[in-house]
């Protein structure tokens, strides 16, 4: 991308990456408008087929949002009132909300400092007779360590539902993250790597029965499963969203390539100990960098420095979920030291498919200079 000198470096650019798709989207919209098939038409059906194939699952069902996808996936996985779901506290609110909405109990275990994902070593000690599922979240697009997680789930007869809202395109040992777990869920919120122009979500299913049931539930049909009668409601993926997402999916590889280059530029300036490392190694892994993060003890000072240089940053998840009001319904297993430390130390740098590489170099250099100074002060 060409430089946009002196302009603010924004965290997102939702418009520029969409421009190569604009004419195709408008042409499709015109056709759609005149078709009269406004609800659950061809676009939703084709997107479901395309994403099921891309993620290596049996079937995929489009729903109204990533939050809705989580709720219905957990329900179909048999999560019932009083059950416990083990998950990470270092994630977006929806992860916890979906469990609480089912009158189940989120059980938080700590994360690994290197990848900020749930620490598989912490899961087993959190299991009780009420545990029904484990919900890993590939946070910021970094793969979760699925082999040990699935081994624990198999040993204790638990379901695995992956909250893949930030992980479309992420690979673990060469497999799409969506291929792990009984179900996984996508969000097409406009800032996601595979975006819509509004809300949308999807449940990726490995068991056809789950997909069939969710297809009914999302369109007002009651379903009997897990010795329970589930009510249907309205959670359909909108046809216009599906149309846009399909077009964007056609450019996903190109956009991911641009993100990868920005991430590589940042990597060249930021010491390894201050950024993402995969504890299970890089072989066969693909990080999609939904967000790029840097760890810094004086995080707020670094944030001020970047702000003063016209660079937007963000802080996620400070405090982590176990310190939110809704955590009154949750249980904490062990110390959540790393999640709290991440909340205090992690800073999100701008990354998107239209970020000029010169801007990425400028940001990288500023961060490098700050971290060098910090290290010198710490040693003096």
Ligand X SMILES: Cc1ncc(COP(=O)(O)O)c(C=O)c1O
Instruction: Write the CB contacts of 62 (distance below 8 Å, at least 6 apart in sequence).
Output: 44, 47, 48, 200, 201, 202, 218, 236, 237, 242
Whole-number Å distance between alpha carbons of 94 and 91: 8
Q: What is the smallest separation between the CB atom of 305 and ligand X, expressed in angstroms?
A: 27
Q: How many residues bind ligand X (CB under 6 A)?
A: 15
Q: What is the smallest separation between the CB atom of 321 and ligand X, expressed in angstroms?
A: 11
Q: What is the smallest separation between the CB atom of 65 and ligand X, expressed in angstroms?
A: 4
Give the residue nearest to ligand X (CB): 66
Whole-number Å distance between alpha carbons of 235 and 304: 41
Q: Under the criterion CB under 6 A, does residue 244 sit at the interface with ligand X?
A: no
**List 87, 88, 91, 274, residue binding ligand X (CB under 6 A):** 91
Q: What is the smallest separation between the CB atom of 129 and ligand X, expressed in angstroms?
A: 27
Q: What is the smallest separation between the CB atom of 198 and ligand X, expressed in angstroms?
A: 10
**List 95, 241, 333, 345, residue binding ligand X (CB under 6 A):** 95
Rank residues 352 and 362 by Cβ distance to ligand X and give the closer one. 352
CA 13 to mean position of chain CA atoms? 18
Rank residues 110 and 359 by Cβ distance to ligand X and give the closer one. 110
Q: Is 107 helix (H, G, I), strand (E, B) or coil?
A: strand
Helices 252-269 and 357-379: crossing angle in degrees, nearest 10, is: 30
Q: What is the smallest separation between the CB atom of 31 and ligand X, expressed in angstroms?
A: 26
Token pair recorded at residue 113: 């400092």
Rank residues 92 and 269 by Cβ distance to ligand X and give the closer one. 92
Whole-number Å distance between alpha carbons of 163 and 140: 12
* Contact present, 352 and 288 (Cβ < 8 Å): no
Rank residues 94 and 118 by Cβ distance to ligand X and give the closer one. 94
Q: What is the smallest separation between the CB atom of 186 and ligand X, expressed in angstroms?
A: 8
Cα–Cα nearest to 71, from 171, 179, 187, 157: 187
* Contact present, 94 and 66 (Cβ < 8 Å): yes
Residues 134-163 that bind ligand X (CB under 6 A): 137, 163
Instruction: Write the CB contacts of 323 (distance below 8 Å, at least 6 apart in sequence).
Output: none
C-alpha pair distances (Å), 139 with each of 115, 156, 323, 340 = 8, 25, 18, 15
Binding part of the chain for ligand X, among 9-17, 90-98, 109-117, 298-306 by CB under 6 A, reads 90-98
Q: For the window 57-86, what string marks contact with ligand X as x by the rule CB under 6 A?
A: --------xxx-------------------
Q: Under the criterion CB under 6 A, does residue 201 sit at the interface with ligand X?
A: yes
Q: Is 172 helix (H, G, I), strand (E, B) or coil?
A: strand
Cα–Cα nearest to 168, from 107, 253, 238: 253
Whole-number Å distance between alpha carbons of 121 and 239: 42
Token pair recorded at residue 11: 């965290």
Rank residues 269 and 317 by Cβ distance to ligand X and give the closer one. 317
Q: Under the criterion CB under 6 A, does residue 51 sit at the interface with ligand X?
A: no
Residues 175-194 that bind ligand X (CB under 6 A): 187, 189
Q: What is the smallest separation between the CB atom of 335 and ligand X, expressed in angstroms?
A: 23
Residues 267-306 that bind ligand X (CB under 6 A): none
Rank residues 12 and 357 by Cβ distance to ligand X and give the closer one. 12
Whole-number Å distance between alpha carbons of 244 and 169: 18
**List 94, 152, 158, 367, residue binding ligand X (CB under 6 A):** 94
Contacts to ligand X by CB under 6 A: 65-67, 91-92, 94-95, 137, 163, 165-166, 187, 189, 199, 201
């Amino acid at each position: 991308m060409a430089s946009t000198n002196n302009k603010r470096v924004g965290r997102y650019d939702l418009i520029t990456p969409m421009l190569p798709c604009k004419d195709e989207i408008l042409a499709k919209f015109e056709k759609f408008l005149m078709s009269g098939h406004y609800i659950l038409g061809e676009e939703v059906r084709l997107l479901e087929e395309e994403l099921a194939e891309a993620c290596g699952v049996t079937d995929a069902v489009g729903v109204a949002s990533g939050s809705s996808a989580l709720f219905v996936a957990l329900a179909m996985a048999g999560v019932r009132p009083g059950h416990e779901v083990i998950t990470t506290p270092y994630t977006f609110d929806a992860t916890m909300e979906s469990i609480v909405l089912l009158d189940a109990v989120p059980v938080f275990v700590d994360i690994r400092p290197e990848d900020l994902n749930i620490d598989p070593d912490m899961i087993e000690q959190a299991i009780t007779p009420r545990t029904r599922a484990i919900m890993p979240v590939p946070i910021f697009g970094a793969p979760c360590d699925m082999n040990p997680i699935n081994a624990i789930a198999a040993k204790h007869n638990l379901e695995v539902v992956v909250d893949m809202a930030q992980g479309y395109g992420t690979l673990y040992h060469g497999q799409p993250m969506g291929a792990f777990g009984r179900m996984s869920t996508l969000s097409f919120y406009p800032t996601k790597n595979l975006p819509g122009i509004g809300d949308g979500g999807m449940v990726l299913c490995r068991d056809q029965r789950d997909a069939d049931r969710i297809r009914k539930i999302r369109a007002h049909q009651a379903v009997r499963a897990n010795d329970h009668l589930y009510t249907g409601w309205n959670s359909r993926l909108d046809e216009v969203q599906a149309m846009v997402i399909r077009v964007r999916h056609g450019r996903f590889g190109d956009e991911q390539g641009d993100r990868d280059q920005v991430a590589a530029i940042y990597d060249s300036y930021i010491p390894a100990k201050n950024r993402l490392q995969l504890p299970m190694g890089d072989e066969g892994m693909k990080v999609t960098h939904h967000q790029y993060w840097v760890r810094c003890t004086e995080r707020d000072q670094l944030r001020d420095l970047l702000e003063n240089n016209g660079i937007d940053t963000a802080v996620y998840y400070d405090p982590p979920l176990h310190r939110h009001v809704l955590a009154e319904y949750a249980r904490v297993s062990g110390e959540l030291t790393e999640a709290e430390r991440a909340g205090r130390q992690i800073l999100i740098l701008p990354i998107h498919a239209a970020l000029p590489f010169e801007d990425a170099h400028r940001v990288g250099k500023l961060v490098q200079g700050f971290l060098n100074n910090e290290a010198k002060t710490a040693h003096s």
